[in-house]
Structure 1
Amino acid sequence: MFESVLVANRGEIAARIIHTVRALGLKAIAVYSEADADLPFVAEADEALLLGPGDPARSYLRGEAVLEAARRTNARAVHPGFGLLAENAEFARQVEARGLAWIGPPPLSIARLGDKINARNLMKEAGLPVAPGVWEPVPDVGTALEEAERIGYPVIVKPAAGTDGAGLAVAHDPAALRSAYETARAHAERLSGRPDLLLERYLPAARHVEIQILGLADGTVVALGDRDCSVQRRHRKVAAETASPGVGPELRERMLDAAVRAGEAVGYRGAGTVECLVDPAAQEFFFLEMNTGLQAEHPLTEMVMGVDLVEQQLRIAAGWQATLPGGAPRGHAFAFHIHAEDPEYFQPRTGEIKVWEEPAGDGIRIDAGYAEGNTVTAVSDPLLAKLCVHGADRAAALDRARAAIAAFRIEGIGTNLPFLAELLDHPEFAAGTYDTRLVGRMRGH
């Protein structure tokens, strides 16, 4: 096992990784921007280096600056967390070229799966079901209109190299598709410099369900259950639960088997998620994309499986045998993203946190990126913390979640806590019958 790990991320995920690194007796090294100098993860690390200004493009996203920090601190491994550089295949290659351990899948796997069209084609070859769509980039609006007629409306247009739902647009008719195409293309060129677009059939009443996989050091791929991430606003996750109430036992087995095949098809190593769209009425699923690394919702799997996924990532990267628990998942768990934002229209909010009081008790876990006295700036990600709860069954976990949300006090800055309280009392969420359109129905926008 390497002696030191540089965590190339910020906020709650950096703090979460640092916790496990230190628990294993390894040296935890943080990097930070000027805007984040006072955040808890910086103080919790054994050593911390300033990367640059608050703008992530001038700090966390500067791969050379991160590698220089690794050199200066004599780090032996780099853990990218999620987002930022985590799914940047070139950065992963550079880490390995410097003789450092990359706590993630092989760079080639990242590159092959980072393109949504290529990933779709690979998974089709591996036997996974995919939604009707195209097999190569759509070069122009005319081609998009022709393909949409073949696929059938409604369709969704996606940047092939996009992440976090950026640039996604849905069209129900040709006029809307023209606009959707231009919107998606502009996002694609701005975010990745690549205009490649994917066109697929849009499933309006679908659920978004992901399967946690681990590619072990010996080449074996295992699946560790599913997580339902259908509660989204602007295609970004707000709440999640495990197991999905919209997936029956037979469908779950098919999805777990398919996720293992997906990992095997690309020689996957480390933690990853196979994301799917599920038609709950037909109990069918379609491959959506594969995320090559740790996901924000990983604590759910940890709570029901009794496993530390970051520890397993470290063991796999070191060539060690994973230590996986046996048996089925235990109980039910929910995760809620606490955002600094207006709870009605979800616009980001900034300012100093005057009060931060967390709920506590059995079955409650909080992965926090901020504390009382910290300031949320315009360049910060709005995710303040993740509140996770576990119960013996879904009803018990729901009751615990309601109590925890009510007890969580954050003052001085607007948050989505009122929305989350509303969500927990919504009939569809309480019954587990929701889909990806729930937030839109709740807000009417």
Structure 2
Amino acid sequence: MTQLQLARWVALMYCGVSLLASAATAADAPFRPETGKFPPLEKAYSYRGELVFVDHANRRGSLRVAGEGMYFRNPPHPFAMLPCGIVRYHGAPADLRDIPLGSVLHVRAFLPPDPKISAVPVLPVNNREKTSGYSGQGIAPAENHVLLLEDEPSYCLREGKVWKLKEINISNRRGMIVASRELRSGGDGKATEETMTFDAATRIWRGRELLGIEDLIADGVWPDAGKKSLDGQEVLLGITWKPTTGDVFTRFHISDIWLDETALQRAAQQQTETHKAFIRSRWMPAWIDDVEYGKFGRATVTATLFGGMDPSLYADFQKGGPAMMNAAENTLKHLGGNYGPSHMASRGSLLEVAKATDEVPLGSSGVQIRFETDLIIEGLRPGRVVRVCPGSWPQVNLPREEFLGDGNPDDRFPTPAIFPKY
């Protein structure tokens, strides 16, 4: 099995659903998740848009959502990741800080689980049905708490799709490509052609090479000028948005083209290593299923580790091994981290590490741990979010914006006041 095939398999396992499971349509009723439960992907509302702002420390940002009207007029729409929400970039696990601004992302989102502590504005439940001037309908859905956020290649890998290039029209190292996103196994009759721009800054990945437009022209693959049929060449695309000429208000731009599996495999491997190092320094997020209290501060905590990580991270949790568990906020920020996460954390050992054998919902790893400690802290209660660190991971101090000193959500940097009022 190649690395890319493994990435596809892992992506499907994270989702816990078959390729036949579809996102919600505008006709479905908005769904509000319950605290401490993984929401069903099939009840999520689906949309896509350009990433225009990121507050990585609070796992939130803003997207310019594609609606029915003039895309460039659409104001940024705030979103927040659910505690168990998964980010994927280049077919690999990611954090919001890894995704470049301008990337067009696919979203699966819900209403805020608890509007009172939402890190972004809470909107009327029917907000996706409202029309906003020239922007049209659907640019500010109330479903702004995200379970799955993925770039174009990640989305295609999960759905078993590819882009088929039909025609290129080029002049002076820039131009347009006509393509359609279709099932890799064969057309389903639902694919529609889309015209996207490219320019000299578009990156083309072939095997271990990074190419430019001029390289494909020199090889005779693309013409120096004019039109050429590309005969349905199968590729994966990175998509962004740039202002365009000709009074075209919704035309996306190609930032990257991956010509073969080796090229994307390398991108996925690099992103995976970046994310593994990040999680080991910030600890694995989870939430608590149950707490059995003993005497004199002793307790046994049962928790489910969140999904979307590389399998090697879960393998670091070993029965009998030492571990630490610290309380966290819904943005996954550590609480009481002034002297590092380990300063306030409960220390103990892993009594059990169990892997679920049935279908695992998106957001869950299916890995449940039982952790025994002789000093339980206040934040370790059923339904609460925590961070867990096996004994083999490094102990570091976190930057000030990544922890809450006294556990008060108002300690966020910056506060929700930065977002527009609706």
Give the structure with the higher percent strand.
2
Q: Is this a same-fold pair by TM over 0.5? A: no
TM-score for both structures, normalised by structure 1 = 0.23
TM-score, normalised via structure 2 length: 0.24
Which structure has greater helix proportion? 1
Greater length-normalized contact order (CA 8 Å, ≥ 6 residues apart): 2
